[in-house]
Structure 1
Amino acid sequence: MIDRRSALAAGFGLLAMVVLSGYSFATLSDAGADLRGATAGFAIVAVLDVVVAWGLYGVLAPADRGLAQLCAGLRVAYAAAFLAAQGNLLAGRSGVDAFERGWDLALLVFGVHLLVTGWAAIRAPHVPTWLGALLILAGAGYAGDSLGTIAGYDLGLATFTFVGEVVLLGWLLWAGYRAPRGVGNSPA
């Protein structure tokens, strides 16, 4: 059975991240824009990553607590790496390239997180197997892109494989709303 609070927290966290990331990346790509808004938006996204990690733990732990902990730990590690990369933006426009390099490294951790999350979803009887497969594809896309960027190649895999994340967002909200009220005590 799905933990209602966990699913909704993760789903709404992901939804808020879509909005804030979109705003922040749009600001970052506007050469004339002040980066304070982008930096604040990205910082909130990093905090929301921790909320999503907690929510995913609550959804996945009933099937495999250890795997759910690994999934959550990798998401928090990604959030920390992403936040560290954001420190480069404090230098203003001169720090954008360093931020992007740091973010590329952080995306490798994110890709591994999605691979583990996909595997955990496949093992969880209350999560559709196809969703786990989509998450594994998304993780492979991010990890491949990150490694490609480090090697000097722009593979663009995540341009296609990110769909797993979008489907996860929708499924979490759907499953959370569908779960009976009162089902919300996440596993300790």
Structure 2
Amino acid sequence: MNVGDRIPACTFKTRVRDESVGGPNPFRWQDMTSDDYFAGKRVVLFSLPGAFTPTCSTYQLPGFEKGFSDFAAQGIDEIYCMSVNDSFVMNKWAIDQGLTNVKVIPDGSGEFTKAMGMLVAKDNLGFGARSWRYAAIVNDGVIEALFVEPGMCDNHGEDPYGESSPENVLKWLKENATATA
């Protein structure tokens, strides 16, 4: 995927709280599509190797969460965090991180990530297929800007982080504010 491309059309299997289900675990399955998340909005999407992992939990996700108002001031409607993890894991991670601003998207099968060209093997860490770390600004389903960590390859020995950081994405938004206004 490149700037100017439309994001892949996928259906995501999510779990949502629904008190009508009753019992100690009142959640139900709900399919969400790419259009549900991206149509008619300008969003930041960032994707990372895994929920609960050190860089993701310590820097990237908290940085986007804390910086939400700065992103909103630059015309961003939503911030989404995606990982090749199932909805159970992503929902628990969102609770663990105390998220109120960033919304999580489970790409459990890696379908969206693969279509984005960002699916890599992380077998060297026992992860299996995961997302390479990247961020994108998506405007009504079209990639406006893309921030991909360098060195993308299977079983990379490190976890590069910087290009897709909230600080770098926000810097781009501020520098390009007049171009998109």
Structure number with the higher strand fraction is: 2
Bigger CA radius of gyration: 1
* TM-score bucket of the superposed structures, by smaller chain: under 0.3
| TM-score, normalization by structure 2 | 0.26
